[in-house]
Structure 1
Amino acid sequence: MKFLKITFIYSLLFLSAGLFAQGQPAGKKVTVTGTVTDASSKEPLEFANIVIQNVAGATMGGGLTDDKGKFSVEVAPGTYKILISFFSYKNFTIENRAIEADTNLGAIGMSVDATELEGVEIISEVTTVELKLDKRVYNIGNDMMVKGGTVSDVLDNVPSLSVDAEGNVALRGNQSVTILIDGRPSNLAGSNVAEVLRLLPADSVDKVEIITNPSARYDAEGGGGIVNIVLKKGKANGFNGSLMANTGDPANHGASANLNFRGESFNLYTNMGYNYRNNPGNSKTEAEYLDADNNTESFTNERRTNDRKRKGFNATVGLEWFVDSTATWTNAISIRRNTGDNPTKTYYDNYDASRNYLSSRYRLNAQESEESNLNYSTSFQKKFDNNGHELKIDMSASKNIEDENANISDEYINTNLENAYQRTFNDTEESRGLIQADYVLPLGESGRFEAGYRGSFSQQDVDFTTEDLVDGAYENNVNYTNHLIYKEKVNALYAQYGNKMGKFSYLLGLRWEDSNIDVNLLTTNDFNNKRYNNFFPTAFASYEFSESSSLSLSYARRINRPRGRFLNPFGGLESNINIFRGNPDINPSMTHSIDAGYMKKWRDITLNTSAYFNMTDDSFQFVRQAGGTTADGTPITLTTPINLAKEYRFGFEFNVNYNPFKWWRLNSNFNFFRNETQGDYTFTYTDPTTGETVNDYQDFNNTAYAWTTRLNSKISLPWKIDWQLNGNYEAPQNNAQGRRVGVASANTALSKDILKDQATIALNVQDIFNSRKMKNDTFIPGQIRSYSEMQWRQRQVTLSFTYRFNMSRSDRQKEQQRQRQDNGGGGDEYMGG
């Protein structure tokens, strides 16, 4: 809490200084200069805060020190009180200083405040939250709950976010979310975003930004909002960094390094790591097949186990070049390479209508994969003055290649059928390019105009082939073979204006996007071009009742474009009776989003609550339908995404941080929502066995209520031991074709600082009770009644060791101070968010 108070006060002082400086009357000015240093080490303190007040206590000028600890402030001649402050240092004050001409105050040494430093050491070890006008920023820090884990684990530990058993990320229960890394989608090349998040190490994450209603400056993609993952980029002076090693059961072995070298005119940084993981999973489906009158015809039980073994290496090397005091040019190269195998064993038991055993089948899918990714990004930032007038240009390009091959065997038991053998080849290539320019122009005392352009260009080539072994030779299976080429060109322009009038802030924006998309199925010579352009208005307003409470209201129009597995007709045959099939003809959905939020701070409690409403046209819905039968007569069930007419989502959310004692921190999240869908769908398909055309009508009118809750507790025990425990619960939810069953899970972790606080050892357990499973009841009249469970990863125990070197106390303090100054990202913080 002390950390939040100090940060808020410093931000307010800096803002006030800037506003008063802009409001000073024209006339003679004099310059006050000086240098701020650490009193003991004599090292310069960057981002120290300078405030100059007149005898009446009004702020007449102010600023921050540069990387050499120097400052320069212009004021009118007079007698002033000069206040100098820096996080975790005792304030330095000069009283009644007469300044009639340019004045150099010389070197000013500041001493560490032991009381504040103690508070910093407690807070800095856990995830903290910063509230902006249009987003929430979660600083991951040294969150021991995710040590040795992946980015997917990080997201699952952030309030408002959830990650299901298949790795899909949801914001407030809505999976129509855009995932960015460092503000760009280019690092997520590849059709399976969930898999990419499971490959990147958690230790590379600096913070996570949750943007529920993005402003016009952001890409309009993502009907449920944007999640931006910001990777670490060291900035402390000299050579410093951290090393981490971890081991676990099931196998979870890895090592990573975050290194940084900062000089006078450059900052060189790198993140690199290697890991080997085995994520054993399992699933089951108990299906009851029905006739037209819903009478039972047969039963099939499916059991599946798999071992996802992955070896991966990733590295990022970046260089920031401080061209001069106003310009910075940053270049970074990232590489990622992963290999793995995923042997999947599936057992089928067939029964008649009276539950009498008929036959069994054993299916082995021996899959191997290899993936490589290369990404280059460059960014140039030019600051024309110290008031926020700037231009930033970003460009990036990436290439991703992934090959998955599988040998499949079917062994029939208690039947006259011969064993069957298949093999599949899935070759995917994806390239992305991005160019973006953002211009910011301050207007008046507190107004700001922004405008920019963004061009996003991508192409994905997916060649999936299935072959059956017939008479000793493999022949192509046309039913499960396709070659898809997806091309997307999106050009966008935006403009927005914001201002602050007393306690009231507002931001109005408009974005225009032109989309040109080709979905080409080469196997069937089906070429489809989708060309459309749309306007996306945004509006934000907030009112500060006091320093401790504020109210906000926002509106945004969003788009959700289908990609990857949503479009690809086939991507795998782990099971040949429960098959996911993409839909190349699916269209984008459009969402109108309204969000109202209230934030209140007390001494030991912070409450952040919001109510939200989303109305989506052509929303995506997964439907299950019959797809013929296998060789032994077992019905095939297809799962396919479609567009529905309307979806209405309304909900409210509470986030509470509570510090009952100095050694105990609690934070909780509760989200309740109502989801209504309106629409029906007629599915026409050809039975691959009989060749007959079948029409399947389904009614999707449905209203469902659901809620999720999360509680996280962190206790500082004696001997510098910390204990963290969190629990999660997702309540049941009905849908048009059945019901999702409620799921509860819990995680825990212990950590201890050692080696004079330069190192930390941590032990964490993910999914203590091994209960994290996706469970569904499905009922389609006249077709099927089923119950399914899927557990992507079993309980995981991980032991990690982290060592930090050449990070002096003042370096760590300067790093924390600089991070708070850099946390802007979205560019709207000047409005008091």
Structure 2
Amino acid sequence: MRYPIFIILGLLPVLIYGQSFSVSGSVRDADGKSLPFANVILLQVSDSTQVKGISADETGRFVLSGIKPDIYYLQAAYFGYRSVLVGLDIRRDLEIGAIVLEPDVEWLDEVLLLGNQPVIERKADRLVFNVENTIAGEGNAYDVLRRSPGVIVTGENLEIRGQQATVYFNNRKVQLSQEEISEFLTGLSGNTISAIEVIPNPPASYEAEDGPILNIRTTTNVAPGYKGSIRAQAEQSIFPKYGLGTGHYFKGDKLSFFANYTINPRKEFSRSDIGIRFKDPANTTYADWQTNNDITTRSWAQQATAILDYTPSEKDLFNLTANASYSPNKQIRNEVFTVMRDGAGQLDSTLVNESELDDDLINLSADLSHERRLKKDGAFIKWNAHYTYYDFSRQQAGASDYFDPSGNFLRTFGFSTDARQQIDIYTGQFDFYTPIKNGNFETGVRASAIRSNSAIDYFDVNNSQPPFDIALSDEFEYNEDVGAIYASLYQDWGKWSLKLGLRGEQTEVEARSLALNQINNQNYFELFPSLFLSRKLGEENSFTLDYSRRITRPKYSDLNPFRYFLNENDFDEGNPNLVPAFSHNFNLNLSIKDTYFIDFYYRDNGAYISRITFQDNLNQTLREIKQNVLESTSYGLDLTLATSLTPKWYVYFYNSIFYEDETFLAVESPIEQFTNEVSGYYGNLSNIFTLSKDGSWKADTSLTYLTGFLYGSFQVSEMITLNAGIRKSLWNNRATFSLTAEDLLRRANGTYVSRYSNQDNTHFSRPETQFVRLSFTYNFGNFRLSNADGDIQKSELQRLDNE
């Protein structure tokens, strides 16, 4: 059945009618500034028992719904502020305006942050993993992300339900590659993170091509002052590595500043084994090539981030965010040895290839925004401007020597390439947000422009050939302009809530290959609806259905027709004929006690852009190319447990049973098309322990098991990863030592197998996934003065109840 989700729609519970009302308002400090994610609870007057509770949104706005007529106390609480009780006689829907909280700095100094557990909040369109001042916030930011519910880590990729996630930082898109994001997050301390928002189906306010989103919210100081940290780490695998970093925070009355810098000099080793069995027209193996490729990489990557907040008045907030990624003189050395046998297994010849690549990369971005609060409580307008500059260059030189079975030299082949790419990205956005009765409304417009220019010069250095090969040299220009408008409406009716969104995007693309004299123009307008329907089942349970239509545009590097060579027989090439792919995404969620999460998802991926590898049996080459598949579907059942078994033992257990398929054109085979499909299981069990009474010793373990998955034309074999770590806090939490060991079983890497019709090739790569890392962090200044989510707010509420 193509859309099994519609069967489940018929099983939605019927609406339970009853008289109930809502209370809405906002939480602010004495200066009128919003206190985002503050706790708001409703209490019985008779015995102060809690009736309802909710966390305010990022603007400090809250709506408590489904309240029966009675007299109540309303209590607002925020870490580092004095909570207040407000008496309410609720006989109708109430809008109470702003609840003003005063700072309580003295109480801040008395708080002992010991063994606090992370808290998971289920919201209409996302899952919020609150980790600040909890044991889940230990380690670096990358550690925190991979502990987040629903997040899957494969290599350097962060995925949600089999799709690569787009990373946002304080609700701003991070314009970095996956490798750069990994380096950035590894160098960012986990204690800078307030919460992780996991958004499998983003609402209309996000770009239609973002796919699933991981939004990282950072901490902020609640009292004026300065705090900072320095970090150092040493890692031992095949080669030793080290990293250094520092972070600084300052908050004044009107000015707040955050800066982070990391440098990660690395020498890395990876070994790849590649097997190809070439077939004749009768589909009989006539040649068997087995290749070993040893890859040694030296890099000096550096990352810097700066965030400046300026509040000239209680109604205005200016933000400037800048990021710089710099990787000079990255050196990659490939040493390839290939044994070539005939169909009978007799040695035919051998190939020895050496190639060296020298890369230089600089990626700069700046983001400026202004938020203006309006007269209506909770309403605001916001504009944003962004610019990214990307510059990449690569020089490659390679040589191959062939030998007969006796080891006698036969021939040589040499080549070199000179490639460069420059990209400019411009974006501008304007948003309007306002509370309305029982909900809110938001709308906005966005425009973006991408200008990319790439070139490659190919040189054949053999004496018998001209030095410059015009057939393999090219210049590629790519221009993309996207204009978007969106609107989103959220309504809450007691136990039911609904969020509707619609986004329209106009796209114009011009891609030009000068060598091929080929122009690819695309001009289209598309609508992207989204829906989130939720029903509360009691106080701690909920049922949610969501849907969204998304787009995957070809990356400009994928449209680029250049060839990048490992050697003359193995290369990657772009595809200028790629077109956008549209997907329909459904998800059905049941949350039980905000601890157990059950999700059924179905995704029609459409003409998904996939990475396909083909062997040319006639010319004996292996090439990797991006292709629009004919159709692709994915569905699965996810079961998540995230809870504290004891005050000192936190468990996260994520399970996913899934199915995925891709049907693509088998361009090098006698068959017209082939469907690659797999059913599998992914499981991750993570434990975080507080080992000592004072909370200074903590440990964590994680076990990940994956039966296999699809990667284009490949099926990937099972992978098992076991990690363990221990941390020690010193000097009243001013310093932390940690020791981590990863891939203890040395089974974190799978074998890639493509075997159908006349295709038979395999690939197994072993990067340095097994290592031991020693890290040290030292905090200075007023490092305790940060806002907190999760159980620290619960502790505050308990203290206030006792008063």
TM-score for the superposition, normalised by structure 1 = 0.80
Q: How far apart are the structure 1 equivalents of 2:316 and 2:147? A: 36
2:782 corresponds in structure 1 to: 807
Question: Does the Cα contact within 8 Å between 1:485 and 1:520 map onto a contact in 2?
Answer: yes
Question: Does the Cα contact within 8 Å between 2:384 and 2:429 map onto a contact in 1?
Answer: yes
2:432 corresponds in structure 1 to: 439
Q: How far apart are the structure 2 equivalents of 1:106 and 1:471? A: 80
- Offset at residue 169 of structure 1 (A): 3.6
Q: Does the alignment pair 1:541 with 2:533?
A: yes
Q: Which amino acid aligns with 2:212?
A: G
Relative to 1, partners in 2 of residues 1:482 and 1:199: Cα closer, same or farther, differing over 3 Å?
Answer: farther
Which stretch of structure 1 is more off in the superposition, 87-96 or 720-729? 87-96
Q: How far apart are the structure 2 equivalents of 1:593 and 1:86? A: 36
Q: How far apart are the structure 1 equivalents of 2:557 and 2:793? A: 39
Pairing partner for 1:352 from 342, 351, 355: 342
Q: How far apart are the structure 1 equivalents of 2:544 and 2:752? A: 37
Q: Which amino acid aligns with 2:722?
A: A
2:683 corresponds in structure 1 to: 709
The CA deviation string for residues 699-757 of structure 1, in whole angstroms up to 9 with x for no partner, is: 22354312211110112213721111101111134789553211111211110100121
Q: Does the alignment pair 1:589 with 2:581?
A: yes
Question: Does the Cα contact within 8 Å between 1:261 and 1:267 map onto a contact in 2?
Answer: yes
Pairing partner for 2:641 from 622, 631, 656: 656
Question: Does the Cα contact within 8 Å between 2:120 and 2:130 map onto a contact in 1?
Answer: yes
- Offset at residue 274 of structure 1 (A): 1.7
Q: Does the alignment pair 1:273 with 2:270?
A: no
Within a 5 Å distance, the mapping from 1:682-831 to structure 2 comes to 683=667, 697-718=671-692, 720-733=696-709, 737=713, 739-782=715-758, 784-807=759-782, 809=784, 811-812=785-786, 814-816=787-789
Within a 5 Å distance, the mapping from 1:36-55 to structure 2 comes to none
- Offset at residue 641 of structure 1 (A): 2.0
Relative to 1, partners in 2 of residues 1:733 and 1:262: Cα closer, same or farther, differing over 3 Å?
Answer: closer
Pairing partner for 2:420 from 427, 431, 439: 427
Within a 5 Å distance, the mapping from 1:67-146 to structure 2 comes to 85-87=77-79, 112=107, 117=111, 120-123=113-116, 129-139=120-130, 141=132
- State the superposition RMSD in angstroms: 4.0
Name the SS for the 1:683 alignment partner.
Answer: coil
1:247 corresponds in structure 2 to: 234
Q: How far apart are the structure 2 equivalents of 1:818 and 1:137? A: 14
2:207 corresponds in structure 1 to: 219
Within a 5 Å distance, the mapping from 1:297-312 to structure 2 comes to 297-312=286-301
Q: How far apart are the structure 2 equivalents of 1:650 and 1:53? A: 42
Name the SS for the 1:757 alignment partner.
Answer: coil
1:691 corresponds in structure 2 to: none
Name the SS for the 1:418 alignment partner.
Answer: strand
1:99 corresponds in structure 2 to: none
Relative to 1, partners in 2 of residues 1:415 and 1:134: Cα closer, same or farther, differing over 3 Å?
Answer: farther
Q: How far apart are the structure 2 equivalents of 1:455 and 1:34? A: 35
Q: How far apart are the structure 2 equivalents of 1:350 and 1:387? A: 74
Relative to 1, partners in 2 of residues 1:657 and 1:233: Cα closer, same or farther, differing over 3 Å?
Answer: same
Name the SS for the 1:769 alignment partner.
Answer: coil
Question: Does the Cα contact within 8 Å between 1:655 and 1:668 map onto a contact in 2?
Answer: yes
Question: Does the Cα contact within 8 Å between 1:186 and 1:397 map onto a contact in 2?
Answer: no
The CA deviation string for residues 421-470 of structure 1, in whole angstroms up to 9 with x for no partner, is: 211212011111111111112222x2211110111211222212221112
Q: How far apart are the structure 2 equivalents of 1:396 and 1:547? A: 42
Name the SS for the 2:584 alignment partner.
Answer: strand
Question: Does the Cα contact within 8 Å between 2:613 and 2:624 map onto a contact in 1?
Answer: yes
Q: Which amino acid aligns with 2:632?
A: E
Question: Does the Cα contact within 8 Å between 1:278 and 1:308 map onto a contact in 2?
Answer: yes
Q: How far apart are the structure 1 equivalents of 2:86 and 2:137? A: 46
- Offset at residue 622 of structure 1 (A): 3.3
Question: Does the Cα contact within 8 Å between 1:150 and 1:198 map onto a contact in 2?
Answer: no
Q: Which amino acid aligns with 2:728?
A: K
Name the SS for the 1:456 alignment partner.
Answer: strand
Question: Does the Cα contact within 8 Å between 2:286 and 2:342 map onto a contact in 1?
Answer: yes
Q: How far apart are the structure 2 equivalents of 1:280 and 1:818? A: 43
2:799 corresponds in structure 1 to: none
The count of corresponding residues between Structure 1 and Structure 2 is: 736
Within a 5 Å distance, the mapping from 1:487-506 to structure 2 comes to 487-506=479-498
- Offset at residue 266 of structure 1 (A): 1.1
Pairing partner for 1:376 from 347, 363, 366: 366
Q: How far apart are the structure 2 equivalents of 1:182 and 1:539? A: 24
1:454 corresponds in structure 2 to: 446
Name the SS for the 1:419 alignment partner.
Answer: strand
Name the SS for the 2:114 alignment partner.
Answer: helix
Question: Does the Cα contact within 8 Å between 1:147 and 1:800 map onto a contact in 2?
Answer: no
- Offset at residue 273 of structure 1 (A): 1.8
Name the SS for the 2:178 alignment partner.
Answer: helix
- Offset at residue 682 of structure 1 (A): 5.7
Question: Does the Cα contact within 8 Å between 1:583 and 1:642 map onto a contact in 2?
Answer: yes
TM-score for the superposition, normalised by structure 2 = 0.83
Question: Does the Cα contact within 8 Å between 1:159 and 1:710 map onto a contact in 2?
Answer: no
Q: Which amino acid aligns with 1:727?
A: L
Question: Does the Cα contact within 8 Å between 1:148 and 1:254 map onto a contact in 2?
Answer: no
Structure 2 portions without partners, runs of 5+? 1-20, 57-70, 89-98, 795-803
Pairing partner for 2:543 from 532, 541, 551: 551
Q: Which amino acid aligns with 1:134?
A: D
Question: Does the Cα contact within 8 Å between 1:407 and 1:423 map onto a contact in 2?
Answer: yes
Q: Which amino acid aligns with 1:161?
A: V
Name the SS for the 1:215 alignment partner.
Answer: coil
The CA deviation string for residues 90-136 of structure 1, in whole angstroms up to 9 with x for no partner, is: 9777999xxxxxxx99989797499x955x53126xx6543321112
1:827 corresponds in structure 2 to: none
Relative to 1, partners in 2 of residues 1:384 and 1:501: Cα closer, same or farther, differing over 3 Å?
Answer: same
1:162 corresponds in structure 2 to: 152
Relative to 1, partners in 2 of residues 1:155 and 1:290: Cα closer, same or farther, differing over 3 Å?
Answer: farther
Question: Does the Cα contact within 8 Å between 2:270 and 2:767 map onto a contact in 1?
Answer: yes
- Offset at residue 357 of structure 1 (A): 1.9
Relative to 1, partners in 2 of residues 1:129 and 1:257: Cα closer, same or farther, differing over 3 Å?
Answer: farther
Q: How far apart are the structure 2 equivalents of 1:80 and 1:650? A: 45
Q: How far apart are the structure 2 equivalents of 1:241 and 1:815? A: 17
Relative to 1, partners in 2 of residues 1:817 and 1:394: Cα closer, same or farther, differing over 3 Å?
Answer: farther
Q: How far apart are the structure 1 equivalents of 2:436 and 2:331? A: 58
Q: How far apart are the structure 2 equivalents of 1:244 and 1:591? A: 42
Q: Does the alignment pair 1:598 with 2:576?
A: no
Question: Does the Cα contact within 8 Å between 1:208 and 1:230 map onto a contact in 2?
Answer: yes
Pairing partner for 2:462 from 459, 470, 492: 470
The CA deviation string for residues 329-371 of structure 1, in whole angstroms up to 9 with x for no partner, is: 1112222211221111111111122212222212111111111
1:194 corresponds in structure 2 to: 178
Which stretch of structure 1 is more off in the superposition, 394-403 or 316-325? 316-325
Relative to 1, partners in 2 of residues 1:140 and 1:702: Cα closer, same or farther, differing over 3 Å?
Answer: same
Q: Which amino acid aligns with 1:391?
A: I
Question: Does the Cα contact within 8 Å between 2:432 and 2:444 map onto a contact in 1?
Answer: yes
Relative to 1, partners in 2 of residues 1:110 and 1:48: Cα closer, same or farther, differing over 3 Å?
Answer: farther
Question: Does the Cα contact within 8 Å between 1:164 and 1:774 map onto a contact in 2?
Answer: no
2:355 corresponds in structure 1 to: 365
- Offset at residue 509 of structure 1 (A): 1.4
Question: Does the Cα contact within 8 Å between 1:146 and 1:202 map onto a contact in 2?
Answer: no
Relative to 1, partners in 2 of residues 1:498 and 1:57: Cα closer, same or farther, differing over 3 Å?
Answer: farther
- Offset at residue 588 of structure 1 (A): 1.0
The CA deviation string for residues 601-642 of structure 1, in whole angstroms up to 9 with x for no partner, is: 17xxx1012111111221223333234777xxxx10122222
1:641 corresponds in structure 2 to: 626
Name the SS for the 1:322 alignment partner.
Answer: strand
